[in-house]
Amino acid sequence: MAAATVVHQIREQAAHAVHVGAVVEAQALPLSEAYRVLLGERDWSLALTGGEDYELLFAATAEHRTAIAALAQSSDCPITRIGCVVSSAEGLNVHGPDGTAYTPAHVGYDHFRLA
Please indicate, yes or no, if residue 101 is contained in any of the structural domains: no
| Domain with 23 in it | 7-95
Per DSSP, the residues of 8-57 read HHHHHHHHHHHTEEEEEEGGGS---HHHHHHH-SS--HHHHH--SS----
pLDDT in tens for each of the 115 residues of the chain? 334 444 555 555 555 566 788 899 988 988 888 888 988 887 888 888 776 666 778 888 889 999 999 999 999 999 999 999 898 888 888 998 888 888 777 777 766 677 6
Predicted TM-score (pTM) of this structure: 0.72
103 lies in some domain? no
The number of folded domains in the chain is 1
Residue 105 belongs to some domain of the structure: no
Is there a domain that residue 58 lies in? yes
